[in-house]
C-alpha cells in the first residue's frame, strides 16, 4: 500500500516537472513570412544599437583625446604644482601680514587708541 502511494506521488511529480520540457517552440508556429519579419526586426534593432554604441564611443574618444592633450601640455604636472605652490605661499604671506596688522590694531584699541578699534 505504501508502495502504491509512493508510485502515485512519483508519477505526479514526473508529470508536473516534465511540463516545461515539452513546451512548444514559438518558432515552430510562425509562418516563413513571420519568421522573416521577426529576423528583419531583430537585425534592425541590432543595427540601431550598433549606431548608438558607435556614437557613444566617438564621444568618449573625443573626451579621452582632450584629456591626453591636456596632460601633454606644458602647463600640466610639475609646473602646475609649482605655480599653485607659489600662489598659495603668496596668499599665506598676505594672510599673515593682515593678521599682524589686525593684532596691532587690537593692541592699540585696548591701549586706548579708539580710532584703531573700527577696523
70-112 pLDDT, tens digit each: 888 776 766 778 888 999 999 999 999 999 999 999 999 999 9
- The alpha helices in the chain, defined as continuous H runs, are 2-17, 26-29, 32-72, 78-110
What are the extents of the domains in the chain? 29-72, 74-113
Q: How far apart are CA 12 and CA 1, in angstroms?
A: 17
Q: What is the mean pLDDT of residues 1-22?
A: 67
Looking at per-residue pLDDT, the higher value among 24 and 44 belongs to: 44
Provide the b/e sequence for 54-84 (b: ≥16 CB within 10 Å). Answer: eeeeeeeeeeeeeeeeeeeeeeeeeeeeeee
Q: Which three cell numbers stand for residue 18?
A: 516534465
Main-chain dihedrals φ then ψ at residue 16, nearest 5 degrees: -70, -45
- With cut-offs at 50, 70 and 90, classify the pLDDT of residue 64: very high
Q: Are 119 and 99 in contact (CB under 8 A)?
A: no
Q: Which three cell numbers stand for residue 87?
A: 600662489
Q: How far apart are CA 104 and CA 119, in angstroms?
A: 11
Distance from chain centroid for Cα 71:
22
Amino acid at each position: 500500500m505504501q508502495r502504491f502511494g509512493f508510485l502515485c506521488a512519483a508519477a505526479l511529480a514526473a508529470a508536473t516537472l516534465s511540463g516545461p520540457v515539452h513546451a512548444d517552440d514559438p518558432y515552430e508556429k510562425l509562418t516563413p513570412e513571420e519568421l522573416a519579419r521577426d529576423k528583419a526586426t531583430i537585425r534592425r534593432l541590432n543595427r540601431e544599437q550598433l549606431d548608438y554604441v558607435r556614437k557613444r564611443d566617438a564621444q568618449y574618444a573625443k573626451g579621452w583625446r582632450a584629456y591626453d592633450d591636456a596632460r601633454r601640455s606644458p602647463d600640466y604636472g610639475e609646473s602646475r604644482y609649482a605655480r599653485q605652490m607659489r600662489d598659495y605661499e603668496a596668499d599665506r604671506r598676505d594672510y599673515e601680514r593682515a593678521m599682524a596688522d589686525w593684532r596691532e590694531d587690537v593692541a592699540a584699541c585696548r591701549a586706548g587708541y579708539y580710532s584703531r578699534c573700527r577696523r
